[in-house]
Chains A and B, each alone.
Chain A
Amino acid sequence: MSQSRGSRIAGWGTANSLVILFALFPVFWIAMLSLKSPSTISDGRLIPSSWSTENYKQIFKQAIFTDALRNSLGIALIATLIAVVLAAMAAYAIARLDFPGKTLILSMALAIAMFPPISIVGPLYNMWRNLGLFDTWPGLIIPYMTFTLPLAIYVLSAFFREIPWELEQAAQIDGATPWQAFTKVIAPLAAPGVFTTAILVFIFAWNDFVFAVSLTSTSAAQTVPAAISQFPGASQFQQPTGSIAAAAVVVTVPIIIMVLFFQRRIVAGLTAGAVKG
Chain B
Amino acid sequence: MSATVAETPTAPVRRAPVVTDRTKAERRLGLMLCAPAVIVMLAVTAYPVGYAIYLSLLRADLRFPNDRTWVGLNNYGTVLSSSLWWSDVFHTALITVISVAIELVLGMLLALVMHRALFGRGLIRTAALIPYGIVTVVAAFAWRFAWASSVGGFVPKALGLSYDPLDPTHPVTNYLVVILTEVWKTTPFMALLLLAGLTLVSEELLEAARVDGASAWQRFWRITVPLMKPAILVALLFRTLDAFRIFDSVFIISNGPNPKLETVSILGYNQLLNRLNLGLGSAVSVLIFLLVAVIAFLFIRGFGTSLAQQRGET
Q: Which residues of A are at the interface with B, using a C-beta cutoff of 8 A?
A: 8-9, 12, 15-16, 19-20, 22-24, 26-27, 29-30, 33, 41-46, 86-87, 89-90, 92-94, 97-102, 105, 108-109, 111-127, 142-143, 145-146, 149-150, 153, 178-179, 203, 206-207, 209-210, 213-214, 224-225, 228-229, 239, 241, 244-245, 248, 251-252, 255-256, 258-260, 263-264, 266-267, 270-272, 274-275, 277
Contact = CB atoms under 8 A, between A and B. Distances in A.
A251 B135 contact: yes
Interface of A, secondary structure class, is helix
- Among A12, A122, A207, A275, the most chain B Cβ lie within 10 Å of the Cβ of A122
B156 to A, nearest CB: 8
| In the complex, the 6 A-B pairs of residues with the closest C-beta atoms, listed nearest first | A42-B152, A99-B30, A271-B196, A123-B48, A44-B157, A122-B272
Contact of A97 (B30, B38, B125): B30
A116 B245 contact: yes
Nearest to A179: B29
B34 A239 contact: no
Interface string B29-67: 111011011101110110011011001000000000000
Contacts of B41: 108-109, 112, 146, 149-150
B141 A24 contact: no
A123 B197 CA distance: 38
Contact of B128 (A19, A121, A228, A241): A19
B201 to A, nearest CB: 13
Nearest to A199: B133
Contacts of A142: 40, 44
**Interface range for B:** 35 or more
B48 A124 contact: yes
A30 to B, nearest CB: 4
B248 interface: yes
B195 A271 contact: yes
Given A86-B40, A270-B193, A116 B152 contact: no
Given A15-B113, A89-B34, A214-B273, A123 B196 contact: no
B171 interface: no
Nearest to A29: B146
A113 B293 CA distance: 12
B44 A116 contact: no
B314 to A, nearest CB: 17
20 contacts: A9-B118, A20-B123, A26-B143, A41-B152, A42-B152, A44-B157, A90-B36, A93-B33, A105-B38, A115-B292, A116-B241, A119-B289, A122-B273, A122-B282, A153-B37, A203-B133, A210-B248, A244-B145, A245-B145, A252-B135
Nearest to A42: B152
Interface of B: 23, 25-27, 29-31, 33-34, 36-38, 40-42, 44-45, 48-49, 51-52, 55, 110, 113, 117-120, 122-139, 141-143, 145-146, 149-154, 156-158, 184, 188-189, 192-193, 195-197, 199-200, 231, 234-235, 237-238, 241, 244-245, 247-248, 251-252, 264-265, 268-269, 272-273, 278, 281-282, 285-286, 288-289, 292, 296
Contact of B151 (A12, A16, A241): A241
Nearest to A245: B145
A97 B113 contact: no
Contact of A115 (B45, B51, B134): B45
Given A207-B136, A252-B134, A19 B30 contact: no
